[in-house]
Amino acid sequence: MRLLPLKNCWVTGVTIALYCSLVFANDSRVILPESANDNLELLLQHDIGDELPSNYLEVFVGEQTNCCSGKSAVAGRYFVENRKVTFEPAFEFILGQSYTVVSRSVVGSNHGTTQVQEFSIEPSEKTVRPSVVGIYPSGDTLPENTLRFYIHFSTPMRPHLTTKFIRLLDAEGRSDTAAFMNFKQELWSKDRKRLTLLMDPGRIKRGVAQNMRLGPALVEGNRFSIVVKEGWPSANGDSKASRFEKRFLVSERLSTLPQIDHWQISVPHVLTQDPIIIDFDRPFDRVLAQHAINIIDQNGKPIQGTVSLQKNEEKWIFMPQETWLDTTVQLVVDTRLEDVAGNNLKELLDKALLINPEETKNQDLDATTQRRWLKLRSG
């Protein structure tokens, strides 16, 4: 981490203009991060007592000239030790992204100063040109009430650009700007290679105001495209992604509860390393299906292995690390597992007004898992 006595800017009273001078001796000092997973530190000349540490130190995305009125600070946790305030961001800093740090030496006094400093973390070497390597669900036909899309990139990407570069287009090329939820904190994986797009549930649930006013975002029988426009910069800003388009046809809604009893399960032979294969009755959420289904041995311990999804997320394959020894294993499914329409094993996402309420939920709502014993084949 580096200690930078940069220009010191402060605001007195209700004055709007910023006045800058050199940092005075004995003033507060900010220690800026040198790598993406470093924290920020503020060294003060006094203890802050019971005051909120965020009153003394905040971080914003963007350049100093565009900061910070009307913007939300970067999410994270604070730690206070003696006269040091430490900020740990919820996600690591993005290489090449400009950030602005606002620090205060004294809160609630005109005698204190507010420092405004800009920093960025430059990569040690350039990355390859980014590209979209896949959009999921991967099927060419998707239900009208599809809830999520996952966009996978080849390299870490710069965040806070979703509304600029992603479009949902109909067959005529018209863009639906109200189709996706607009979050202050975008839904990125920790490595910034996977972006989650959540359809506005108000466009999915029938009978609610948003749906009645705008209609569903996806309409059965029609064709749509998700377009990632050309020019999205990588995390370090050295290169930009090319255009990518996923086209699909919209089918009827998924309006029934997922049930394990409807799955076709193929079991391996004992003393082999053949996989357990599940053919679902519908496409399931790709990310959830990789973690919500587990295989347990006869002693109740998880069996280690790798999971893959195939056939447009309708086939689940578990490849064990070791040879199958038990003659019987248990399939354990978290009831929060969702299909691509957001229906989990307990309850439907869209409880349509005309559907029998008893058909919209599993009667055993207290269960956190559903289980089934699987007898492996002998010989």
21: confidence class by pLDDT, cuts 50, 70, 90: very low
Phi-psi region of 273 (alpha: psi -120 to 50; beta: other; left: phi over 0): alpha
Residue 127 is predicted with a pLDDT of 52
150-195 tens-digit pLDDT: 999 999 999 999 999 999 999 999 999 999 998 878 999 988 899 9
CATH of domain 260-375: 2.60.40.1220
Closest C-alpha to 162, from 174, 140, 179, 142: 179
194-232 tens-digit pLDDT: 999 999 998 888 877 777 788 899 999 999 999 999 999
114: confidence class by pLDDT, cuts 50, 70, 90: confident
- Provide the 3-class DSSP secondary structure of residue 54: helix
Average pLDDT over residues 308-324: 96
Partners of 351 in beta bridges: none
Half-sphere exposure of 308 (CA within 13 A, CB side): 6
Residue 23 is predicted with a pLDDT of 36
Average pLDDT over residues 55-69: 86
85-112 tens-digit pLDDT: 999 998 888 877 889 999 888 766 555 5
Residue 163 is predicted with a pLDDT of 93
* Strand pairing report for 194-198 and 187-188: antiparallel
Residue 14 is predicted with a pLDDT of 32
pLDDT at 121 over 90: no
Residue 237 is predicted with a pLDDT of 76
Furthest CA-CA distance within the chain:
83
pLDDT at 43 over 60: yes
Residue by residue, DSSP assigns 127-161 as: PPPP-EEEEES--SEEETT--EEEEEESS-B-SS-
How far is residue 298's CA from residue 314's CA, in Å, rounded to a whole number? Answer: 27
Say which CATH topology domain 132-251 has.
Immunoglobulin-like (2.60.40)
CATH of domain 2-119: 2.60.40
Percent of the chain with pLDDT over 70: 85
Residue 86 is predicted with a pLDDT of 93
Residue 17 is predicted with a pLDDT of 33
Residue 27 is predicted with a pLDDT of 58
Residue 357 is predicted with a pLDDT of 55
Residue 125 is predicted with a pLDDT of 53
pLDDT at 20 over 60: no
Residue 124 is predicted with a pLDDT of 61
143: confidence class by pLDDT, cuts 50, 70, 90: very high
Domain with CATH 2.60.40.1220 in the chain: 132-251, 260-375
Phi and psi for 208 in degrees, rounded to 5?
-95, 160
Residue by residue, DSSP assigns 173-228 as: --B-TTSB---SS-EE-TTS-EEEEEB-HHHHSTTSHHHHHH--SS-TT-EEEEEE
Average pLDDT over residues 103-131: 74
284: confidence class by pLDDT, cuts 50, 70, 90: very high
Residue 372 is predicted with a pLDDT of 95
pLDDT at 26 over 50: no
248-277 tens-digit pLDDT: 999 999 999 999 999 999 999 999 999 999
Please provide the average confidence, as pLDDT, over all residues in the chain. 85
Residue 254 is predicted with a pLDDT of 94
Average pLDDT over residues 351-378: 74
Closest C-alpha to 37, from 85, 84, 79, 95: 95
How far is residue 153's CA from residue 133's CA, in Å, rounded to a whole number? Answer: 5
Residue 7 is predicted with a pLDDT of 39
Those residues whose C-beta lies under 8 Å from the C-beta of residue 183, and which sit 6 or more positions away, are 198
Phi and psi for 96 in degrees, rounded to 5?
85, -15
Residue 25 is predicted with a pLDDT of 35
Most confidently predicted of 10-14, 111-115, 132-136: 132-136
